[in-house]
């Protein structure tokens, strides 16, 4: 991954907002390629002790290469934000599609297709020793032709935290599987 800064991109509209920041559509100035930039506010991260978790999410995204999980293209920080630049998924999230057509109108073939792609994403994470615990419609993003990818890998804990009770575990737990 080559070093970049916010000057490398042109920022467009906000795609979504979360507890630590927002996701914006961005374009690489010299190539015109479009991405989604997850901008995590450093002050909010620090206030909620989320800096280490954000860096761990970046580390996980760097390890992942799957057509069923959003991919990390760039990562950088500005004075006020940690930024993860990832695949732009123009089709919206699965929650939007379910509510726009209604659960009864969603074709069974489409349900099977999405389920298969989500399963492939989860299996890929498991093959890397990562347990994805935040599977929900708003974390499944669709591209412009209808394929889906898992997103928002959440706030993982390292395997030494595995002894905690399920109520204390974060949305994703990393298990370092021993061969």
Active site residues: 134
Round to whole Å and give the CA distance between 52 and 21.
16
Instruction: Decide: 75 and 85 in contact? Cβ < 8 Å.
Output: yes
Round to whole Å and give the CA distance between 30 and 79.
23
Instruction: Decide: 150 and 172 in contact? Cβ < 8 Å.
Output: no
Helix, coil or strand: residue 82: strand
Q: Which of 89, 15, 83 is nearest to 54 (CA)?
A: 83
For residue 38, say whether it is annotated as part of any ligand binding site.
yes
Do the bridges between strand 34-41 and strand 81-86 make them parallel or antiparallel, or are there none, so unpaired?
antiparallel
Q: 89 forms bridges with which residues in the sheet?
A: none
Please give the order of strands across the beta sheet that includes 21-28.
Answer: 9-17, 21-28, 34-41, 81-86, 72-77
Instruction: Decide: 93 and 143 in contact? Cβ < 8 Å.
Output: no
User: Residues at the annotated binding site for ATP?
Assistant: 38
């Amino acid at each position: 991954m080559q070093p970049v800064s916010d000057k490398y991109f042109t920022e467009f509209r906000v795609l979504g907002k979360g507890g630590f920041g927002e996701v914006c559509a961005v374009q690489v100035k010299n190539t015109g390629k479009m991405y989604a930039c997850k901008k995590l506010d450093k002050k909010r991260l620090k206030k909620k002790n989320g800096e280490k978790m954000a860096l761990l999410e970046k580390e996980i995204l760097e390890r992942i290469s799957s057509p069923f999980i959003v991919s990390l293209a760039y990562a950088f920080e500005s004075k006020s934000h940690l930024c993860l630049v990832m695949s732009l998924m123009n089709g919206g999230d699965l929650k939007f599609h379910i509510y726009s057509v209604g659960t009864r109108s969603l074709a069974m073939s489409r349900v099977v297709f999405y389920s298969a792609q989500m399963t492939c994403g989860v299996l890929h994470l498991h093959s890397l020793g990562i347990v994805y615990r935040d599977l929900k419609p708003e974390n499944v993003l669709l591209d412009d032709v209808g394929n889906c990818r898992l997103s928002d890998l959440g706030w993982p804990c390292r395997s030494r935290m595995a002894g905690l009770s399920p109520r204390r575990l974060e949305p994703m737990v990393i298990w370092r599987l021993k061969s």
